[in-house]
């Protein structure tokens, strides 16, 4: 798998947030996107994921020499971000079942249990998310992102709201995932920056 970004620029009305961003990342590998708050890190992540269009430039996903269309590319992505919405009136199990059905068309109960156990929520499977702490909600997002075993894992503020144990778990996920897939991280945290093999600064 290869991701290329060519001349990505983004304007919000007259304000330019991104200017001529270029990168190429091949699997296996990890790319970090850095820059001060408000510099456009999350905007670039949204553009890569297809959640937002660029004002100019292109992002391409290439697999086995073939450029994927937007739908096929989206199926390869697992995203964890502050703006990823969960359903607070549903349980963790129900949220993952919903995301699984929308992603793959069916629900693998064994996979859901495996993931919720891995993120330490197996004893809270059937509690509504409105009863969860912010750190627990972040763990649910990871379970949802990993469900379909994506070839591209994109993490915007990957350790937000997590305690030290949770952070170490995320670091291990990044370390493992980058060995055979692509990981893209938007962060300024030094502990996360060093996990990447390439860097793009959007300052």
pLDDT tens digits for 120-166? 999 999 999 999 999 999 999 999 999 999 999 999 999 998 999 98
Reported pTM: 0.94
Residue 26: CB atoms within 10 A of its CB come to 13
Structure confidence at residue 104 (pLDDT): 86
**Architecture of the 1-76+152-159+184-203 domain:** 3-Layer(aba) Sandwich (3.40)
Task: For residues 31-49, give the mean pLDDT.
Answer: 95
Instruction: State how far Cα 17 lies from the chain centre.
Output: 21
Q: CB–CB of 200/188 below 8 Å? A: no
Residue 102: CB atoms within 10 A of its CB come to 8
Is the confidence at residue 203, as pLDDT, over 90? no
Helices (H), 15-55: 41-49
At 77-115, the pLDDT tens digits run 999 999 889 999 999 999 999 999 988 889 999 999 999
What DSSP line would sit under 44-98, residue for residue?
Answer: HHHHHHTSS--SEEEEEEEETTEEPPHHHHHHTEEEE-TT----TTSBHHHHHHH
Average pLDDT, the chain: 95
Which residues, 6 or more positions from 122, have their beta carbon under 8 angstroms from its beta carbon?
113, 116
């Amino acid at each position: 798998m290869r991701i290329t970004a060519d001349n990505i620029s983004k304007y919000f009305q007259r304000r330019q947030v991104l200017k001529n961003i270029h990168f190429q990342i091949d699997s296996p590998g990890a790319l970090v996107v850095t820059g001060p708050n408000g510099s456009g890190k999350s905007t670039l992540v949204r553009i890569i994921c297809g959640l937002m269009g660029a004002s100019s430039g292109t992002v391409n996903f290439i697999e086995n020499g073939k450029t994927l269309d937007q739908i096929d590319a989206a199926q390869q992505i697992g995203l964890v971000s502050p703006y990823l919405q969960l359903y607070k009136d549903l349980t963790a199990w129900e949220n993952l079942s919903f995301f699984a059905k929308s992603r793959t068309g069916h629900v693998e109960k064994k996979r859901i249990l495996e993931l919720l156990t891995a993120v330490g929520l197996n004893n809270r499977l059937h509690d509504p998310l409105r009863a969860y702490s912010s750190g627990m909600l972040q763990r649910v997002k990871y379970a949802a992102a990993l469900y379909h075993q994506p070839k591209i894992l994109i993490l915007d503020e990957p350790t937000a709201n997590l305690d030290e144990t949770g952070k170490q778990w995320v670091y291990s996920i990044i370390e493992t995932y980058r060995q055979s897939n692509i990981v893209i991280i938007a962060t300024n945290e030094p502990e996360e920056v060093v996990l990447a093999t390439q860097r793009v600064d959007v300052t």
